[in-house]
Amino acid sequence: MKPALESTDVRNKLEDLSGITISDGENPYDALIKACRGDATEIQSLYALHRITRNAQQRDKFLSPELAELIIDPFLLRLENPQIEPGFKDPRHCLVFWARPPDHVVRLAGHLQMLLKKAAPSLWLMPTHRMHLTTLEVAHSRTPDEIADLVSVMRPAMPSLTSLPFAHRARLVKPFISYDLSAIAVSFLPAAGESVRSPAPVPPHPDDITHPGLRGPSTAESDKYTYHHLRRDVFEAAQATGVPITSRYVVPSAHITLGRYLTQHDHETREQREAWIRAIDSINAWLEHEVWDAADGEFIGEWIVGQERGLEARNGALWYGGGRTIMVGEGF
């Protein structure tokens, strides 16, 4: 019998580095909101603390003389190189609610992938049409039949759940490259009063439910409902169906995976790894100075969740953007 493949999560656990402690039995997203007294600025600060701390942690790992190799995903490796194990199929089926990035964010993500590929030519890139932000992972690593049972229970609630962002609009801002020993992503922070940069919603859009920040520069009131509040509400609505929520992790992170490592070729020596870190630092400096607050820049670094399409209920073997869509909520 062949040994079971090990997920990269086992060797590369994503931990909450914000300092927030979650109590057993509570909505896990409430803990951070309560610790910040619901204040958007404080919520943004904890998201920023998590990603900065994690990048510093991963930088130390990359540059450690004890580092033997990067963490290669054995599932993706077999899917991309069928000769390793002909006929291999990912057995890990999941049920999730994704937020799909609007076109202007996809353009930015594609540009970031191009910059990263120059620094690491062997990098596997997530196809842009598969890019997503996991708002809630309901279940993972289950059989198709197990997931089908969960879907049948949740289905009546899916129309309202997937359309939550239509009337509860949360902005994400300040894109930043986050990385570890297995993958690289672009992460965002919940907005806290920054000027609106996104394109206007597609008309018609009733004024009584249009995000206030889209009609003028003031967002102090509208940003009180953050992306973390949206995650809390999605969790609560999903849990109310009676389906147990068994997410792999709950951390203050809003990220889109850009790529994964499938070989050691670009990172075998310390010199190569140092060059990789410098490339990431350079991209992050460009994002901060040329994208974050740019009013008329080539790229827009803001994302109002739900723009173009609502949340997407999806199931199947979707670790790398695959699977199938069950339902998509209304966008704006």
pLDDT digits (tens, 9 = 90+) for 166-206: 989 999 999 999 999 999 999 999 999 998 888 887 777 65
What is the DSSP-derived secondary structure letter of residue 226?
Answer: -
By mean pLDDT, which of 32-36, 73-77, 197-201 is the weakest? 197-201
Mean predicted confidence (pLDDT) in 313-326: 95
Parse the chain into domains and list their residue ranges. Answer: 30-328
Compute how many other C-beta atoms are within 10 angstroms of the C-beta atom of residue 237: 18
Q: Which residues pair with 98 in a beta bridge?
A: 134, 312
For residue 83 the two structure tokens come to 């000769």
By mean pLDDT, which of 3-12, 127-136, 204-213, 265-274 is the weakest? 204-213
pLDDT for residue 22 is more than 70: no
**Predicted structure pTM score:** 0.91
Amino acid at 81: N
At 215, is the pLDDT very low, low, confident or very high (cuts 50, 70, 90)?
very low
Per residue in 217-256, pLDDT (tens digit) is: 446 678 999 999 999 999 999 999 999 999 988 889 999 9
For residue 288 the two structure tokens come to 């901060």
pLDDT for residue 50 is more than 50: yes
Contacts for 125-129: CB closer than 8 Å, 24+ residues apart:
125/258, 125/259, 126/256, 126/257, 126/258, 126/259, 126/260, 126/320, 126/321, 127/321, 129/321
Mean predicted confidence (pLDDT) in 94-110: 97
Q: What whole-number percentage of the chain has pLDDT above 90?
A: 77
* pLDDT for position 167: 87
pLDDT for residue 261 is more than 80: yes
Q: From CA 194, how far away is CA 301, in angstroms rounded?
A: 11
Compute how many other C-beta atoms are within 10 angstroms of the C-beta atom of residue 241: 17
Per residue in 137-153, pLDDT (tens digit) is: 999 999 999 999 999 99
Q: Where are the alpha helices (DSSP H) in 226-301?
A: 227-239, 270-286
pLDDT for residue 14 is more than 70: no
Burial class of residue 183, CB neighbours in 10 A (0-12, 13-18, 19+): buried
At 59, is the pLDDT very low, low, confident or very high (cuts 50, 70, 90)?
very high
HSE-CB at 175 with a 13 A cutoff on CA atoms is: 29
At 9, is the pLDDT very low, low, confident or very high (cuts 50, 70, 90)?
low
* pLDDT for position 1: 46
Burial class of residue 29, CB neighbours in 10 A (0-12, 13-18, 19+): buried
| Residues near 89 by beta carbon (within 8 Å), at least 6 away in sequence | 317
* pLDDT for position 194: 92
pLDDT for residue 60 is more than 80: yes
For residue 316 the two structure tokens come to 């199947």
Architecture in CATH of 30-328 = Alpha-Beta Complex (3.90)
Q: Where are the alpha helices (DSSP H) in the chain?
A: 8-11, 30-35, 40-63, 74-80, 103-119, 144-154, 158-162, 164-167, 227-239, 270-286
Mean predicted confidence (pLDDT) in 260-265: 95
Q: Which stretches does DSSP call E strand in 160-212? A: 171-179, 183-190
Q: What whole-number percentage of the chain has pLDDT above 70?
A: 88
Q: From CA 4, how far away is CA 8, in angstroms rounded?
A: 13
Compute how many other C-beta atoms are within 10 angstroms of the C-beta atom of residue 156: 10
pLDDT for residue 15 is more than 80: no
- DSSP β-ladder status, 124-125 and 254-260: antiparallel
Of 330, 325, 320, nearest in space to 130 by CA = 320
* pLDDT for position 208: 45
pLDDT for residue 97 is more than 90: yes
* pLDDT for position 55: 97
| Residues near 260 by beta carbon (within 8 Å), at least 6 away in sequence | 73, 76, 123, 124, 126, 182, 183, 184
* pLDDT for position 33: 94
> What average pLDDT does the structure give for the chain?
90
At 2, is the pLDDT very low, low, confident or very high (cuts 50, 70, 90)?
low
* pLDDT for position 216: 45
CA-based diameter of the chain, in Å?
A: 63
Token pair 């994690």 is found at 54
At 271, is the pLDDT very low, low, confident or very high (cuts 50, 70, 90)?
very high
